Amino acid sequence: MIKWLSQNWSTVSNICSVLSFFISIFAMLSVRQLKKKYRNKKRIPEILSDLERISKEFNELTKEVEQNRREIIVATKKLKAILESLKKKSNTDIEKTLIVALKRTKQVIKNKRPVSYFFFNREWIFFEEIWELYGDLQSVIQSLNEHTKDKKWEIE
């Protein structure tokens, strides 16, 4: 046995090296999965409370849109930052609703409208965009709530 080992030492060391490489990859993937689980348990509820706070703020600001136009833009920019942060952390379950809400925030911030909207009153258009953004925000909040409920049902 010792003679065989001394003759095939390079082969044995190569096999051990390859095995250790695969074990390292497995450990790295396990750490990444644990990190993602921790982030979902701790960070997403915090983001959810921020989104609910901004949602209430939108609801209050839309009562008088023209007087609160600047505050609405500021709240929309805050919302955009939170949604972009959430998009980096999210999985495919809620990504579609995030993309729709992000597009709407960019539309409200830049005030881009299709040509057909220019025939209507500008204040009415801005008001409609805000309510559509509010609806998208509610959709994101509901998706996050459902996501957290689903995560509670998973076996840990």
3-class SS string, 72-136: HHHHHHHHHHHHHHHHHHCCHHHHHHHHHHHHHHHHHHHCCCCHHHHHCCHHHHHHHHHHHHHHH
Where do the domains of the chain lie, and which CATH numbers do they carry? Answer: 44-153 (1.20.120)
| CA–CA distance, 127 with 125 (Å, rounded to integer) | 5
SS3 (DSSP) at 156: coil
Task: Determine the pLDDT at residue 115.
Answer: 45
With a cut of 50, list the residues of the chain below it in pLDDT. 112-117
* Planar angle of CA 43, 49, 55, nearest 5 degrees: 135
